Amino acid sequence: MNASEQAKGLEITSKIASIVNLFKQYFPDGKADLKPWHNDPDTINLVDPDSIDIAFHFPGWSRKIQSRSILLQIRFHQDLVDNKQRLIGIETAGFNHTGEVWRLSTVDNWQLEGRCLPTEEITNKLKEFCRDIFQLF
């Protein structure tokens, strides 16, 4: 779900702002988009209501990043015992004019997959960024 729609209270709004600031520490050229999803019926049916989704756009295509935009999806699970949301994983994906070109998921083995992978330096930055998000939650 769009991060802008998840920002319902001070705590989660502060965490979303922290995520944006963390990203900019690793990738200063990235511009945050807190509403990466359109609110049309087809898109709404596909969006995970228990996620925080943020896109980051770069001024142009980056050889190192192998993309122009990165979609970040922070996935949660509603714990029925204590009624709290628990972070279960982070999905990141790089996009260019042809669509998705790479994906990194923390759910399985933290391996980057795709047809055009970023450099090792960028891969390490993405993994550190994900670790920082886990620390935040």
Q: Where are the domains of the chain?
A: 3-136
Check: CB of residue 62 under 8 Å from CB of residue 33: no
Alpha-carbon gap, residue 91 to 79, rounded angstroms? 20
pLDDT at residue number 3 = 82
- Tell whether the model's pLDDT for residue 37 goes beyond 80: no
Least confident of 10-14, 36-40, 65-69, 125-129: 36-40
Which pLDDT score, from 0 to 100, does residue 123 have?
97
pLDDT range class, residue 8, cuts 50, 70, 90: confident
Residues 56-65 pLDDT 10s: 999 988 889 9
Q: What percent of the chain has pLDDT over 70?
A: 92
What pLDDT does 2 receive? Answer: 74
